[in-house]
Amino acid sequence: MSEPLPSSLAAAPAGQALTVQQVSAPAHSPEWASWLSDLGFLPGEAVRVLRRGARRTGNLVVRVGQSTFALRHAEAECVAVTARDDSAQ
């Protein structure tokens, strides 16, 4: 079976078990990649969107590992994720 293509954390549905594939940053804020990595957004790490703001491009509440964070939509766009097989956890 082929690997699912990565999508951004910003596009992920709330509640779905995900795996971080990679973290990148926009040209205007290159420091975001290291900041997100410092928070625990590392390849292979389990992540889940817990809640979304009222607007489509609003803030997200996400859990990575055992920590919970609020991310802006633009920051969540920097995290590429794929669906995680719940039986693998």
Note the pLDDT tens digit of each residue in 22-62. 999 999 999 999 999 999 999 999 999 999 887 777 899 99
The Cα–Cα gap between 67 and 82 comes to 19
- Provide the pairing of β-strand 7-8 with 79-83: antiparallel
Structure tokens given for 55 = 């607007």
pLDDT tens string 65-76: 899 999 999 999
Does the pLDDT of residue 87 top 50, yes or no?
no
pTM summary value: 0.86
Other beta carbons within 10 angstroms of residue 79's beta carbon come to 29
| Secondary-structure class of domain 7-88 per CATH | mainly beta
In one-letter notation, the amino acid at residue 10 is A
Cβ neighbors of 78 (< 8 A, separation 6 or more) are 8, 23, 24, 25, 26, 32, 33, 36
Sequence ranges of the domains in the chain: 7-88
pLDDT tens string 5-25: 669 999 999 999 999 999 999
